[in-house]
Structure 1
Amino acid sequence: MTEAEATTTTIKTEILGYTVPWIVSPGDQLEVKVSTNQPWYSHRLMRLIQGHEDPNYAPKRHEYISSVKEERHPGRHQVCHVGSYAKADLGVEAFQDLGPGLEFSVYMFPTLLDAGHNQVLVSTLDEENKTGFALLINPQNVLELRVGDGTSVVSLVTELAPQLKVWARVTVTFSFTPATDTDSVVVLQYAPVPVACGVAKIGSPVSHTQRLQSPAALSSRSGSGPQTLYLATGWIGGGVMGNCFNGRLDSPRLTSGSRVIVQYDFSQEIPSDSIVDVSGHGRHGVLVNAPIRAVKGHDWDATLFDWTQASYGYGAIHFHEDSLDDAAWATDFTLKLPADLRSGAYAVECTTDDGVTDHVTFFVRRRPGQAPATTTTTTAKVAFLASTYSYLAYANEHMWDWSGPSMWDKVAWNKTELFERLAARRDVGRSLYDKHVDGYGSVYVSSKRPLMNVRTGFVHWAFDRPRDFSNDLFMLDFLERQGVAYELITDHDLEEFGMAALEGIDTLISGAHPEYTSMRHLQCFDAFADRGGSLMYLGGNGFYWVTACDPARPHRIEVRRGIQGVRAFENPPGEYHHSLTGEFGGLWRARGHGPNLTVGVGSAGSGLGSGVPYRRTAASLHPDLAWMWAGIADHDLIGDFGGGASGDEIDRYEVALGSPPDAVVLATSLPQSALYNLFTEEIGFGVQTTNGANNPKVRSDMVFFHTRGGGFVFSVGSINWIWTMAWNCYDNNVAKLTSNVLHHFINHSRPKSP
């Protein structure tokens, strides 16, 4: 992907941005990075409450922070430089005294041919000084070598054609002739590696030999600085790296005779962004834009599936031309956040002179040990858990733009302004639902880039309504209208601070779609309940995928998919363990800690059609539960409006999957339509009937139970719940039931001291 292709836009006025950090505390500094095609824009700081505009729902609300003054800034266009690669400074002495020659070797596994551009495997080329060399796959899908002689760069095009998704060892050997001669000989060899699994026939080694007309100048000119080695990329001019390789590299090595200049073992320090030189010279390197680690190498033989236990087989790194970890934009201005800023969802509102606005979203959390927020009469004992892992997982998703057959080909797209902005900027990186250009799934996502659908007014292109972050804002609006003092905490806070993030909190409320969660989160939920805290799970498809986050790089999360689960792709066998933590990925259900154990329900089905209401059970009529149904008639259907309170992705009660046997099933959804289907992990044989019209497992169950710590759990099992709650400005039975439960939990939860 070229820079021009990545940023081609038909948007007349464009403005977008992001902040670093994405999650901050009061008093922190916030770097704001903005791109616009307009000469000037202004900014204001605002607290987000609810950003969707629809006369059938609650009105839009926000609060400007008056202590942060509006300012104007000159505009500039900024580009995300996509593509992952490795680089290492080898030092000025690395290529000195090369003696009889130089040899570079690497195992390669191309995953994309016909890329439409050069794909560089290795480069030390300095095009300004005309020194060094670069080995690449050219647009004609053959190996090409470029060599500097000090005055020009010579291209040697070979007939060696790499095979798609076949491991091969590629060697480039420069043989220097005696000083009396004026030329050098270069030999390229391409040798397919015998497969360790299976019986497929591979080709024989082939080579290309060519005599250079002038000696190769492989070392930097005196005084030009250290020699830099690049893997999977090369310079394309203007200080920009490009022509990235799509595929895997394993065991790159540079030698001169018996002297090893550098030798990388990619199986070392897999959780890091470092590559380790095992030559003894300490010429370690760094990775840029998070290429995929913990992937199979040239010698993987299916003996071990866990890289943390294997002594071989995981020495490769998978590079992609469209990876993005850090957009690395220049900072346009810095905000010093007020020390008394309350926790919540915030945005830097950036507006061009012609009135086009981007709400650059970030989150403010209280510092551990900081006093809870207060209203005029109460101190916060309630916390809303913002699903920042899930927001990242879906950030900038392009499922509407799949090449080839798409699961969404019969969906009418709702192309809002935010949709058009995202479609116009292909350089802002992928979601955990997108595939890379070579067809391999994306396993990392980052907050260090514009998150163009984590916006207050976002309407999903397929569901035609707010989803994820924009849906969750209705819950904040509801709490404000209820006069309930609350804190906002994030998934990242639980990961970083553990139970300290929940200090002083009695009731914890989830968002509508807390799909991505870590072991640390689940441990916090259990510990919170054990000390008497109460949980309100107001969503669906919650606590589903095992998610990894590195505390040293909290902007990045990782998910490995496979074996089970509703998924847009599946990671290859042997690559189910996360690179950041080494833990086995997939579903928490498969790990033995499914959501049923914590909130009483777990994922059952999903669909794109309208949802349905709930019907109360006989158990809900028990006098001990009368407080829950105050103001709601016994015969009322719950959520028979606004598209149906049970919809999108839905969860059911199932003792066999860990739901507490003594939980009360308060209500069950009416039968879903044939547009809803059972989740794939529920299907044993293909002969099963799987759609909602004739499979009773495709349903939402509303449950309530007491915990062993003395608190309560209330779960609704539907993404649609919060969205439906906002119907008619919260004047409905979904909102009434939620209010009854919330205030009961506030008044009766008595957490014990930690």
Structure 2
Amino acid sequence: MTIHGYPDKLSVEPGQNVKFMINSEGNESYQAEIVRLIHGDTNPDGPGWKVELIDTDLKKQYRGREQKIYSGSYVAVPDNSLLRDIESFSLQAMIWPTTPDKGAQGLLTKWSDSKKTGYGLFIDESGFLSLWIGDGSGKVERVNTGKKLVERCWFFVGASFDATNGTVEVFQQPLVDKTNGRFSLAYSLETMTAHVKQVIKSKPDTDHEAPFIMAGYLETIVEGKNIVRGLYNGKIDRPRMADRVLTRQEMEQCIENPFVDLLAAWDFAANIGPKGLEIPSQIIDKSQSELHGKATNLPTRAMTGYNWTSNEQNFIHAPEQYGAIHFHDDDLSDADWKVDFEFTIPDDLRSGVYAAHVKAGEDEDYVTFFVRPKKGTATANIALLIPTASYLAYANTRFQDVPLAQLMFGRAPVIQAEDLYLMEHKEYGLSTYDVHSDGSGVCYSSGLRPILNMRPKYRHNLSPSLWQFNADLHLVDWLTEKGYTFDVITDHDLNEEGVDLLKPYNVVLTGSHPEYYSGAMLDAVEDYQQLGGRFMYMGANGFYWIIQFNPENPNIIEVRKQFGSNAWKANPGELHLSFSGEQGGLWRNRGRAPQKIAGTGFIAEGFDVSSYYRRNPVSFDPRVSWIFEGIGEDELIGNFGLVGGGAAGLEVDTYDLELGTPPETLILASSEGHSNAYMQVVEELYFNVPSMGGAENPRVRADMVYYPTPKGGAVFSVSSIAYCGSLSHNNYDNNISQLTDNVLQKFMSDEPLHWEEQSPQIAGAKSIKN
């Protein structure tokens, strides 16, 4: 993994530029070329690696350079004469530390560590609150409270320095009530209260270029970029600064009522209400100084503050109780690398999946991007909707406990070079399936970094074969081999353009796992169906998690997890998305279950062997029997494949009238024979009881369904993530390929797909569920 990179955008259209940022370790030179990706699965049982070289002037040798990632979030207020000219001062904030024992962490600092100069409020190496004063000669004086801070408890902290006599005061006071921390009784933390007063000889040298940093301190500045160390884990609420010594009483007063003469009164809730959500990186100073700041690497906004009462769960309705920002030392929103080369998409380049192939010695990377048609146009009557939001949700997933789970299922662990590299390089950012170093869930994910598991040839450590991107290339390959002309569009395009993006197409196909959806994306798909569009849901566990795109930078998504199959759970009061104010979690908990959009919804998952489908009696009905033309009556469907050995597996969806499956839906086929590794998902459980595994629970199955929609449209759903891995079996001559071809050919035509009578299978279908 000595060379890798990322593009400045995932979706690009003819006439636009896509920029590539490349890291070549050891500054080794490299070759680059543009390729079209067709099949990324190197499994010898399949068709193998397929790629098409695109003739461009980019194919040449490039001078390599190392580019580093500096992860960790903080707020920077640009250097200002008001901060340089200060003599006496006071600093204060509410803090909720999550790793107070991890080492020195900056809280409120104008500090240059390379010069050991400035001033700042810190958590020191012993976990004590401490004021540091550096006089510019290399001498640093520190005054601390001598008492350790406690994790996940609110503290009112502050310090002052009197330049007239050298007096330093530092204090910390735990703030405990019934809802805002680990404890509800104040006496539990009485011993944590401290107030220290001491006279020092030094005065801070403030005449340096260091910005004022919240949640870290400046190490140095390299080529105009702040290199910040001592990154703080935890929340900060209501930071204040004065250019004079404040008494303790004055400090308490200006928590909620900042004085007019304060040097700075930063309000982290100032732009999280309805009118301020467009600029989540902006940090507002409410004082006359207007020392506004900018958040770097996207710390988590709209978090419960020290005064949260639990009476209101949505920050939009009580922003004054959400005045906290949660900082993490491993946050990353943008690797911020320099551009190495650019590619202008030619007007005649067909829509598809592409990559910049870079190679240095024996190492290589495929920096993936997607070429869509020009906005407002279509070049085919088929659209493949690439689930880029889901790719971001899984970007650089660690899943460090998965190898153990694989051994429990009797499989050798699948660990790729990319997995090992990511474990060694935490700075490459996390996925929404990981937790931060302080144990809190990762709710933001960015495409502005190398995403090492969104590459051809990668075999995901979660599945027995492929997952996400390479699983979707199975479908790209099948469409290509079958000679279909199709456009590639992405979640990012759908979120921005809505149903207008889909209208030109007779049929839209999803990828194998379109799990993460914004409200705008759901609206677009449902509107398309209402307009007569034909929709093929080619996977499972789709339309599941609520997400939103960053209004400042759509390369970033947000998800807050709760009430579903979670890798982590949002803390109380923190389920609403900071980018929009809407409730996060599952779409089904907001009345928009996947069954309403695809006829089926997530029911079970298991990561061992995939199974097959068996036709149901209704599949012989003349209204739908065309779907099975060329397939025998008793033929098992999909008892083969590259993903677990079958077409029905990994994650599967089922029909459910109670959750919104349209009553005219027909269950064409259902899977069977799943092992007890397939368990019903938690949102379906009322109590945890035995006999919920696939070998004993009839609800653990994939339902292949079909139903008509208005104006001659229809929906066809396969309800299995493993399905597309069976398309290429036996050189594409198999019943999964035949069935898919039958549906796609019919959907491409202008032939109406309605039937006059109501389906007689409703009662029977419900009995299958029960």
| TM-score (normalizing by structure 1) | 0.92
Shift of 1:627: 1.7
The CA distance in 2 between the partners of 1:431 and 1:24, in whole Å, is 23
The equivalent of 2:351 in structure 1 is: 343
Contact kept, 8 Å, 1:700 with 1:716, in 2: the verdict is yes
The CA distance in 1 between the partners of 2:392 and 2:573, in whole Å, is 25
Select which of 211, 214, 235 maps to 2:218. 235
Contact kept, 8 Å, 2:680 with 2:692, in 1: the verdict is yes
The equivalent of 2:372 in structure 1 is: 365
Shift of 1:128: 5.9
Which residue identity is paired with 1:329?
A: W
The equivalent of 2:256 in structure 1 is: none
Map 1:566-585 → 2, pairs under 5 A: 566-585=565-584
Say how many residue pairs are matched: 715
Contact kept, 8 Å, 1:58 with 1:730, in 2: the verdict is no
Which residue identity is paired with 1:667?
A: A
The equivalent of 2:338 in structure 1 is: 330
Q: 1:31 to 1:566 in 2, by over 3 A?
A: same
The equivalent of 2:390 in structure 1 is: 390
Contact kept, 8 Å, 1:275 with 1:286, in 2: the verdict is yes
Residue 30 (structure 1) aligned with residue 18 (structure 2): yes
Contact kept, 8 Å, 2:503 with 2:528, in 1: the verdict is no
Greater mean alpha carbon deviation, residues 202-211 or residues 619-628: 202-211
Shift of 1:93: 3.0
Q: 1:79 to 1:107 in 2, by over 3 A?
A: same
The CA distance in 1 between the partners of 2:425 and 2:751, in whole Å, is 48
Contact kept, 8 Å, 2:678 with 2:693, in 1: the verdict is yes
Which residue identity is paired with 1:538?
A: M
The CA distance in 2 between the partners of 1:251 and 1:582, in whole Å, is 21
Greater mean alpha carbon deviation, residues 106-115 or residues 443-452: 106-115
Quote the sequence identity (%).
Answer: 35
Q: 1:732 to 1:390 in 2, by over 3 A?
A: same
The equivalent of 1:658 in structure 2 is: 660
The equivalent of 1:189 in structure 2 is: 171
The equivalent of 1:617 in structure 2 is: 616
The CA distance in 1 between the partners of 2:338 and 2:484, in whole Å, is 40
Map 1:625-644 → 2, pairs under 5 A: 625-642=624-641, 643-644=645-646
Contact kept, 8 Å, 2:538 with 2:724, in 1: the verdict is yes
The equivalent of 2:435 in structure 1 is: 435
The CA distance in 1 between the partners of 2:498 and 2:557, in whole Å, is 17
The equivalent of 1:672 in structure 2 is: 674
> What is the CA deviation profile of residues 2-43 of structure 1, one whole-angstrom value per residue up to 9, with x for unaligned ones?
xxxxxxxxxxx6111101122211121221111122521100
The CA distance in 2 between the partners of 1:688 and 1:200, in whole Å, is 43
Contact kept, 8 Å, 1:496 with 1:551, in 2: the verdict is no
The equivalent of 2:602 in structure 1 is: 603
Q: 1:624 to 1:215 in 2, by over 3 A?
A: closer
Shift of 1:208: 1.6
Which residue identity is paired with 1:410?
A: M
The CA distance in 2 between the partners of 1:140 and 1:546, in whole Å, is 41
Contact kept, 8 Å, 2:503 with 2:533, in 1: the verdict is no
> What is the CA deviation profile of residues 100-136 of structure 1, one whole-angstrom value per residue up to 9, with x for unaligned ones?
x311001111111332x31111210135665421222
Contact kept, 8 Å, 2:499 with 2:523, in 1: the verdict is no
The CA distance in 2 between the partners of 1:746 and 1:512, in whole Å, is 20
The equivalent of 1:42 in structure 2 is: 31
Which residue identity is paired with 2:41?
A: H
Q: 1:423 to 1:128 in 2, by over 3 A?
A: closer
Secondary structure of the 2:321 match is coil
Shift of 1:746: 0.4
The equivalent of 1:413 in structure 2 is: 413
The CA distance in 2 between the partners of 1:167 and 1:215, in whole Å, is 30
Which residue identity is paired with 1:230?
A: I
Greater mean alpha carbon deviation, residues 708-717 or residues 189-198: 189-198
Shift of 1:365: 1.5
The equivalent of 2:54 in structure 1 is: 65
The equivalent of 2:306 in structure 1 is: 298
Shift of 1:406: 7.4
The equivalent of 1:165 in structure 2 is: 152
Q: 1:709 to 1:309 in 2, by over 3 A?
A: farther
Select which of 269, 282, 297 maps to 1:274. 282
The equivalent of 1:376 in structure 2 is: none
Shift of 1:78: 1.6
Map 1:130-169 → 2, pairs under 5 A: 131-158=117-144, 159-169=146-156
The CA distance in 2 between the partners of 1:355 and 1:214, in whole Å, is 56
Shift of 1:750: 7.2
Shift of 1:675: 0.6
Greater mean alpha carbon deviation, residues 687-696 or residues 501-510: 687-696
Q: 1:196 to 1:284 in 2, by over 3 A?
A: farther
Contact kept, 8 Å, 1:127 with 1:153, in 2: the verdict is no
The CA distance in 1 between the partners of 2:147 and 2:139, in whole Å, is 20
Contact kept, 8 Å, 1:413 with 1:462, in 2: the verdict is no
Shift of 1:626: 2.8
The CA distance in 2 between the partners of 1:690 and 1:395, in whole Å, is 31
The CA distance in 2 between the partners of 1:359 and 1:128, in whole Å, is 38
The equivalent of 1:308 in structure 2 is: 316
> What is the CA deviation profile of residues 320-376 of structure 1, one whole-angstrom value per residue up to 9, with x for unaligned ones?
101111001111122222222222111000011x23211111111122223x32xxx
Contact kept, 8 Å, 2:30 with 2:64, in 1: the verdict is yes
Contact kept, 8 Å, 1:457 with 1:466, in 2: the verdict is no
Contact kept, 8 Å, 1:369 with 1:503, in 2: the verdict is no
Q: 1:244 to 1:406 in 2, by over 3 A?
A: farther
> What is the CA deviation profile of residues 223-242 of structure 1, one whole-angstrom value per residue up to 9, with x for unaligned ones?
x56x7210001122464111
Shift of 1:168: 0.4
Which residue identity is paired with 1:210?
A: Q
The equivalent of 1:84 in structure 2 is: 73
The CA distance in 2 between the partners of 1:416 and 1:467, in whole Å, is 13
Select which of 196, 200, 220 maps to 1:212. 200
The equivalent of 1:5 in structure 2 is: none
Q: 1:458 to 1:120 in 2, by over 3 A?
A: same
Contact kept, 8 Å, 1:612 with 1:645, in 2: the verdict is yes
The CA distance in 2 between the partners of 1:336 and 1:615, in whole Å, is 48
The CA distance in 2 between the partners of 1:659 and 1:90, in whole Å, is 58
Gaps of 5+ in 1: 1-12, 178-182, 374-379
Shift of 1:94: 4.2
Contact kept, 8 Å, 2:390 with 2:516, in 1: the verdict is yes
Greater mean alpha carbon deviation, residues 597-606 or residues 147-156: 147-156
> What is the CA deviation profile of residues 524-565 of structure 1, one whole-angstrom value per residue up to 9, with x for unaligned ones?
111111111100001010000001113431010000011x11
Contact kept, 8 Å, 2:79 with 2:211, in 1: the verdict is yes
Residue 244 (structure 1) aligned with residue 231 (structure 2): yes
> What is the CA deviation profile of residues 473-494 of structure 1, one whole-angstrom value per residue up to 9, with x for unaligned ones?
1111111112111100000001
RMSD: 1.9
The CA distance in 2 between the partners of 1:688 and 1:126, in whole Å, is 60
The equivalent of 1:702 in structure 2 is: 704
Contact kept, 8 Å, 2:134 with 2:141, in 1: the verdict is no
Shift of 1:423: 3.5
Contact kept, 8 Å, 2:39 with 2:51, in 1: the verdict is yes
Secondary structure of the 2:212 match is strand
The CA distance in 1 between the partners of 2:231 and 2:213, in whole Å, is 10
The CA distance in 2 between the partners of 1:439 and 1:66, in whole Å, is 48
Contact kept, 8 Å, 1:533 with 1:750, in 2: the verdict is no
Map 1:357-506 → 2, pairs under 5 A: 357-370=364-377, 372-373=378-379, 380-400=380-400, 410=408, 412-506=412-506
Q: 1:424 to 1:129 in 2, by over 3 A?
A: closer
Select which of 99, 105, 113 maps to 1:112. 99
